[in-house]
Amino acid sequence: MKLLFCYNPMCVYINLAEWKKGGPLSMISKEKGILKTGIISLLAIVCAGVLYGAGAKSAGAETMTYESTANVNIRTGPSTSYATAGTVAKGAQLNVVGSAANGWYQVKQDGLTGYVSPNYVQVTGLLYTTTSDLNVRTGPSTTYTAFGTVTKGAELSVTGKTNGWYKITHNGRIGYVSGKYVQVTEVLYSAAANLNLRSGPSTASGILATIPKGTELSLAADSLNGWYKVFFNGKVGYISAPYVKKSYIHIVMNPESISVLVNKQNKLPDGYTPPDLVNAPIPFIFSEQSDKRKMRKEAAAAIGQLFGAAKQQGISLLGVSAYRSYDRQVELFTYYVNRDGFEKARTYSALPGTSEHQTGLAIDVTGGNGQCAAQDCFADTKEAVWLKNHAAEYGFIIRYPEGKESITGYKYEPWHVRYVGQTLAKNIARSGLTFEEYMGV
Ligand SMILES: [Zn+2]
Residue 57 lies in a domain: no
Both 319 and 330 in a single domain?
A: yes
Measured distance CA(337)–CA(339) in Å, rounded: 5
Of residues 298, 413, 436, 437, which has the active-site annotation?
A: 413
Both 33 and 153 in a single domain?
A: no
Measured distance CA(19)–CA(57) in Å, rounded: 8
**Hey, is 52 helix, strand or coil?**
helix
Rounded distance from Cα 374 to ligand 1 centre (Å):
8
Which of these, 432, 377, 371, 373, lies nearest to 401 by C-alpha position?
Answer: 432
Domain end (from 215, 231, 251): 251
Instruction: Give the other-Cβ count within 10 Å of 423's Cβ.
Output: 11
Both 179 and 205 in a single domain?
A: yes
Measured distance CA(105)–CA(131) in Å, rounded: 33
Residue 37 lies in a domain: yes
Both 243 and 272 in a single domain?
A: no
User: What is the domain-level CATH number for residue 79?
Assistant: 2.30.30.40
**298 given a catalytic annotation:** no
Rounded distance from Cα 413 to ligand 1 centre (Å):
8
Cis peptide before 255 (omega within 30 of 0): no
Rounded distance from Cα 287 to ligand 1 centre (Å):
19
Both 181 and 85 in a single domain?
A: yes
Rounded distance from Cα 303 to ligand 1 centre (Å):
14
Both 276 and 416 in a single domain?
A: yes
Rounded distance from Cα 364 to ligand 1 centre (Å):
5
pLDDT digits (tens, 9 = 90+) for 347-357: 888 889 999 99
For the chain, the C-alpha Rg in angstroms (whole number) is: 25
Both 12 and 154 in a single domain?
A: no
Rounded distance from Cα 415 to ligand 1 centre (Å):
7
Instruction: Give the other-Cβ count within 10 Å of 371's Cβ.
Output: 12
- pLDDT at position 284: 97
Rounded distance from Cα 21 to ligand 1 centre (Å):
28
Check: CB of residue 217 under 8 Å from CB of residue 226: no
Both 221 and 319 in a single domain?
A: no
Spell out, as residue ranges, where the chain has pLDDT lower than 70: 1-60
Both 366 and 409 in a single domain?
A: yes
- CA separation (Å) from 395 to 95, 183, 379? 46, 28, 20
Residue 142 carries which side chain, given as an amino acid letter?
T
- pLDDT at position 270: 87
Q: What is the domain extent for residue 34?
A: 2-52
Angle of CA points 242, 246, 250, to nearest 5°: 160
Residue 17 lies in a domain: yes
Both 368 and 435 in a single domain?
A: yes
- pLDDT at position 63: 86
45 in the Ramachandran plot: left (φ > 0), alpha (ψ -120 to 50) or beta?
A: alpha
Share of the chain above pLDDT 90, in %: 64
Domains identified in the chain, total number? 3
pLDDT digits (tens, 9 = 90+) for 23-79: 444 443 322 323 333 333 433 433 333 333 222 233 467 888 898 888 999 999 999
Domain end (from 52, 71, 92): 52
Terminal CA-CA length for the chain: 27
Provide ipTM, 2 decimals.
Answer: 0.99
Rounded distance from Cα 362 to ligand 1 centre (Å):
7
- pLDDT at position 57: 31
Rounded distance from Cα 372 to ligand 1 centre (Å):
13
| Percentage helix, strand, coil for the chain under 3-state DSSP, each rounded to 5 | 25, 40, 40
Both 276 and 242 in a single domain?
A: no
Residue 46 lies in a domain: yes
Domain end (from 251, 271, 306): 251
Residue 119 lies in a domain: yes
- pLDDT at position 228: 92
Measured distance CA(71)–CA(80) in Å, rounded: 15
Both 362 and 385 in a single domain?
A: yes
- pLDDT at position 60: 61
